[in-house]
């Protein structure tokens, strides 16, 4: 019996932002689990927690009727992840190439989040936008 590979983003039915978050988690978590002990249980665990929280909130937003209350706070959450990734590099826990790759991944998520948030704001009734 053969095992089929993971479905591609196009066939999984997930939003591209959710797929991007899954990609970041799949790539980053094994790396974070190999950090030196003093960083693995501090910065590493916090970053992993933030990544999983981001994924959970994106999935909740996907299925929520009112998406804005979920999406709006995620901007700050994404910035925290970006800063934690920067700290990993500044503490010399990941080399430059991995830092650049992780930064590209989280920046792609941030851009998709901004687009989704913008779309939701445009769909709001005019009276709610000026409240």
Looking at residue 35, its pLDDT comes to 86
* Best CA proximity match to 86, nearest among 57, 128, 78: 78
Looking at residue 57, its pLDDT comes to 98
**What is the pTM assigned to this prediction?**
0.83
Tell me the fold of 21-123: de novo design (two linked rop proteins) (1.20.1440)
Burial string for 4-27 (b: 16+ CB within 10 Å, else e) reads eeeeeeeeeebbebbbbbbebbee
What residue segments make up the domains of the chain, in order of their start?
21-123
Distance CA 52, CA 29 (A): 10
Looking at residue 40, its pLDDT comes to 86
| Local confidence pLDDT in tens for the 131 residues of the chain | 433 344 444 446 889 999 999 999 999 999 988 988 889 888 999 999 999 999 999 999 999 999 999 999 999 999 999 999 999 999 999 999 999 999 999 999 999 999 999 999 998 765 455 55
Cβ–Cβ under 8 Å, residues 85 and 103: yes
């Amino acid at each position: 019996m053969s095992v089929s590979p993971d479905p591609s983003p196009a066939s999984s039915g997930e939003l591209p932002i959710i797929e991007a978050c899954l990609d970041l988690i799949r790539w980053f978590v094994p790396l974070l689990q190999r950090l030196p002990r003093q960083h693995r249980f501090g910065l590493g665990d916090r970053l992993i927690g933030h990544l999983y929280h981001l994924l959970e909130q994106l999935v909740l937003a996907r299925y929520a009727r009112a998406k804005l209350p979920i999406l709006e706070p995620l901007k700050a959450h994404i910035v925290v992840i970006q800063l934690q990734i920067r700290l990993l590099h500044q503490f010399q826990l990941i080399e430059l190439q991995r830092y650049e790759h992780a930064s590209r991944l989280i920046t792609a998520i941030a851009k998709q989040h901004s687009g989704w948030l913008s779309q939701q704001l445009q769909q709001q009734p005019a009276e709610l936008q000026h409240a």
